[in-house]
Amino acid sequence: MTKVKKGFMVFIAVVLSICSFSMTAYADDNTGIMPLYDYTSVASSGLAINNSKATASVYCSGYSGTTKKITAKTCIQRKLGLIWIKMDIGTSDDYWHDTANNYYLITSHSKTLTSHGTYRAKTEYTVTASNGDTEEITVTSQEVDF
């Protein structure tokens, strides 16, 4: 092999080594790591299944004196291949709607499941501050097999 070919091969090897370098970061689902919001301190969605009864838990807390209203829209989803399908929960839009006219919202809703699969709860919050500003937060629960 000529000197130019050897030099070119070494160059390509170095470039490929640099390009293939990657760094992976992990966050444990149970640590409560979440983005920082202006009017919300905690926003969560949980799902528990016991004897075919799925219970979605909703919890959102803002700041006393800063947060004046929290609305939540919660659904249960079932995994179908690579996508999540909203389940029929018996409401017109298949969401439970909740409102708290203060700085925290805690509630839960239940639905009996009729088929086995992987499920999760999804909650979309709208948090309103005393000055009228809003922020929207969407959270999903852990996946639960039934």
Residue 139 — left, alpha, or beta (φ > 0 → left; ψ -120 to 50 → alpha)? beta
Residues 49-77, mean pLDDT to the nearest whole number = 97
| Terminal Cα distance for the chain, rounded | 62
- State the pLDDT at residue 36: 82
Show the DSSP H helices in the chain as ranges.
Answer: 3-20
Asked if pLDDT for residue 27 goes beyond 50, the answer is: no
3-state secondary structure of 31: coil
- State the pLDDT at residue 11: 59
Residues 99-115, mean pLDDT to the nearest whole number = 96
